Chain A
Amino acid sequence: MRYSGFKIIAQALTGHRGWKPVWREPEPKRSYDIVVIGGGGHGLATAYYLAKEFGEANVAVVEKGWIGSGNVGRNTTIVRSNYLLPGNEPFYEFSMKLWEGLEQDFNYNAMVSQRGVLNLCHTDAQRDAFTRRGNAMRLHGVDAVLLDREGVRRIAPFLNFDNARFPIKGGLLQPRGGTVRHDAVAWGYARGADTHGVDIIQNCEVTGFRIENGKCLGVETTRGFIGAKKVGCAVAGASSQVMAKAGMRLPIESHVLQAFVSEGLKPLLPGVITYGAGHFYVSQSDKGGLVFGGDIDGYNSYAQRGNLPVIEDVCEGGMSLMPMIGRARLLRSWGGIMDMSMDGSPIIDRTDIEGLYFNGGWCYGGFKATPASGWCFAHLLATDMPHPNAAAYRFDRFRKGLMIDEKGMGAQPNLH
């Protein structure tokens, strides 16, 4: 069923009795051409583009819980393409362009809102770094605006400009950045994939791989063996766990990242604002809640919940940047498990096992990557060739010393 304004009016007049379930709940078939593990944003987008752009009709997504139960439904919904390094910037800009056309493409309201992403700087050195980044972005054809103090004040007069220790010196603005309704991304891709014939199989955990003579023949699941000519793994925080079943060790650690939302307030924040002196970023949801977060907790974790020191740290950042936030009550906090890679950049690559492909290492920034990740992974699965925009995201970059380390932190996942 295609959605349109007319459909909504017609349904409103007939008591909303005509809506249909948005995707089927099929039994798993004995085998598929391609099985994608993980019904998060990346797995669903991969399946959608496999079916729609690469003509793969016989595809399944297997998800251990329900789709959207992982990070795609837990993130703070920020999308941007303000990267510095050549391995990253074309990829994230490809993603931004896909976001811009996504709702028309999959006929679903994902509330893509290009309300701008503003990174604040507080020292001269930081402004130099932002100038460099902004120039790198513009060289790749991406929008970037360097603001002085008054420029920031025009956008966000409520910030603490009088902070003696961390004065606001200016900021780097990406006007095309913004937010996207995270759940709707999962649902929209699921619906789109299902419409193109993809089987979305929920409550089906992959427990192992059937590998014979170096070739992957399919996956063992809690609902039986599912054969596949090719298997693509896109399980985010569970990457090490799942790939260990194929005998692989990954350049990844799993860490917990927390997020927070306040009670609903009247429209207040024009867009996304990030603090450059502490780790704090904030935006306002369309329901009015301030959505904010900061650093990962910093130790290996699969707990999907964090600890109090980071909550304190994030709230201190908020108070320092916009003191009025202290008047708002915190409604909820939660955590998700990040696949933190050794250089802070992702991997989209095949493995040494024939027919087994991997997508992961998204760290805390994989939501914005969802469309491009799906497209590029689908490209790799369908054609066995890396997509040009994701060609740098290889496993062997660590062995070869070709790290894509945006922050220059080295092989220390909790610092990226």
Chain B
Amino acid sequence: MIINHPLLGPRDAQEFVYLGDATLIDRPDWQASEALDRFYEYLYLRDNPAGMHRELWFHEQGDRSWLVVTRNTVTHEITSVELARDVARARGRSK
């Protein structure tokens, strides 16, 4: 698989480390009253879809940036690659 890095261009997936579903960006609020339930879901439960999957890859052997890769889990086709930083900021994180 080739990951088209937004800053570095096409890179071999071997240079990256895979973390999992990009919902891991949305860390629950630890002070919320239902925090225990939210953290259980956040840590352990996954949609695990057959088809389009937004997922976190870390460019360990490169610029060490986190990417959100949209990839089809049935065909392995990658349709979009974003910087995780941009994705998190667009959701109002890390202002």
Contact of A309 with B48 in the complex, beta carbons under 8 Å? no
Given A250-B48, A399-B40, are A301 and B76 also a contact pair (CB < 8 Å)?
yes
**A252 with B46: CB separation less than 8 A:** yes
Is the CB of A119 closer than 8 A to any CB of chain B? no
Tell me whether B79 is interfacial, beta carbon within 8 Å: no
Supply 19 A–B pairs (Cβ within 8 Å), ascending by A.
A240-B48, A240-B49, A241-B48, A241-B50, A244-B47, A249-B45, A249-B46, A249-B47, A250-B46, A254-B48, A299-B18, A300-B48, A301-B76, A302-B50, A302-B73, A303-B74, A303-B76, A307-B1, A412-B19
Tell which of B44, B48, B76 touches A411, judged by Cβ atoms closer than 8 Å: B44
Task: Assess whether B7 is interfacial by the CB under 8 Å rule.
Answer: no
Q: Is A413 an interface residue (CB 8 A)?
A: yes
Contact with B along A329-365 (1 / 0, CB 8 A): 0000000000000100000000000000000000000
The 9 closest A-B pairs by CB, nearest first: A240-B48, A398-B44, A249-B45, A251-B44, A302-B50, A309-B14, A299-B18, A300-B73, A342-B44
CB distance from B10 to the nearest CB of A (A): 15
Partner of A253, one of B12, B20, B41, B75: B20
Once the chains bind, are B73 and A301 in contact (CB under 8 Å)? Answer: yes
Q: Is A174 an interface residue (CB 8 A)?
A: no
Main secondary structure of the interface of B (DSSP, over half): mixed
For A232-271 the 0/1 string (1 means CB < 8 A from B) is 0000000011001000011111100000000000000000
Which residue numbers of B lie inside 8 Å of A, CB to CB?
1, 12-14, 18-21, 40-41, 43-50, 53, 55, 71, 73-76
Known: A309-B14, A411-B43. A253 touches B76 (CB 8 A): no
Contact B18 A414 (CB under 8 A): yes
B43 CB contacts on chain A under 8 angstroms: 342, 398, 411
Measured CA separation A303–B44 after assembly (Å): 23
| C-alpha gap A249/B44 in the complex (Å) | 9
Interface string of A205-241 (1 = CB under 8 A from B): 0000000000000000000000000000000000011
Q: Within residues 360 to 416 of chain A, which ones have a CB less than 8 A from any CB in chain B?
A: 398-399, 411-414
Partner of B55, one of A250, A299, A302: A299
Q: Which residues of A contact B41 (CB under 8 A)?
A: 249
A240 contacts B47, C-beta separation under 8 Å? yes
Contacts of B55 on A, CB cut-off 8 Å?
299-300
Residue A298 lies at the interface, judged by CB distance under 8 Å to chain B:
yes
Interface residues of A in 31-53 (CB under 8 A from B): none
| Cross-chain contact A303 with B48 (CB below 8 angstroms) | no
- Shortest A405–chain B CB gap in Å is 12
List residues of A (296-329) whose CB comes within 8 Å of B's CBs: 298-303, 307, 309
- CB pair B73–A413 under 8 Å, yes or no, is no
**Which residues of the partner chain A approach B20 to less than 8 Å between Cβ atoms?**
253, 300, 412-414
Interface core residue of B41, B43, B47, B76 (most chain A CB under 10 Å): B76
Smallest CB-CB separation from A249: which chain B residue?
B45
Return the chain B residue nearest A244 by Cβ. B47
Residues of B within 8 A of A244 (CB): 47
